[in-house]
Amino acid sequence: MALASNALTTVERLKQFNGIAEADTSQDFKLEFLINSASQEIENILGRKLKKAQYTEKVKGNNRLTIQVKSYPVLGIDSIKINGSTVNESDYSFDESGIIEGTRPWGASGLHYGISNFMVQQSKNIEIAYTAGYVLPKDETEEEPRTLPYDIEAALFSMINGAMALTDGAAGLKSFSISDVRWEWDKDYMRSILPSLMQHRAPRF
């Protein structure tokens, strides 16, 4: 099994953290599986992708000056299109949290009803192509060092060690099966990990 593209650590780093000899490959399959599964679980908790990559996302116009994309930190915006028409770069600005502010409201698209001319939005009429995310440990180079926060990787280590401790009778993982890729974490155990993760979940509007 190979590491997934969104894996938040490497087998080598996990071995080093747990004092496992790098030459010992007897558990590599299990470690790779746990890294992949825990990485996906963390992304599910945070509600966003963490790997630095190019993303394309469609959102609904809201007739406000700001809209927001899911993945962050936002490193750059390649293009914004409203109903297929490209918005000039000078007509908006953005910050790392994913909030994009326009010089005019981001118009909604929909049908108008009734005497009050109330509009019901029909589609996500704004398409945003952007680069966002962190350089993961497995992707770092001398020119581009890792930017993934260390407490996210530490939470990953804690989740994985909870699963590994299952074979020694620990109760971190309520149930675990490689065959059906099932995770059911004990609520009390996860409660100790969540605070460090939730500080990386930005409020949405």
d(C-alpha 151, C-alpha 134), whole Å: 13
As a three-state string, the secondary structure of 145-170 is CCCCCHHHHHHHHHHHHHHHHHHHCC
Strand order in the sheet with 53-59: 53-59, 126-132, 74-82, 85-86
For residue 3, which of 160, 129, 158 has the smallest C-alpha distance? 160
AA letter at 133? G
Q: CA nearest 181: which of 45, 29, 37?
A: 37
Asked if 67 and 100 count as a contact pair (C-beta separation under 8 A), the reply is yes
Task: Give me the residue label for tokens 């007897």.
Answer: 26
User: Scanning the structure block, which residue is given the tokens 């914004």?
Assistant: 80
Q: Where are the alpha helices (DSSP H) in the chain?
A: 11-18, 28-46, 150-164, 187-198
Q: How far is C-alpha 59 from the geometric centre of its chain's CA atoms?
A: 17
Q: What is the pLDDT of residue 161?
A: 85
Of 131, 64, 122, which is closest to residue 92 (Cα–Cα)? 64
Closest alpha carbon to 164 in 32, 6, 25: 32
pLDDT profile of the chain (205 residues), mean per 10: 94 94 89 92 93 96 93 97 95 96 83 49 84 98 97 92 63 48 57 84 72
User: What is d(CA 21, CA 182) in angstroms, rounded to the nearest whole number?
Assistant: 28
CB 108 within 8 A of CB 63: yes
Locate 139 and state its tokens. 């992707």
Q: State residue 12 phi and psi, 5-degree precision.
A: -60, -45
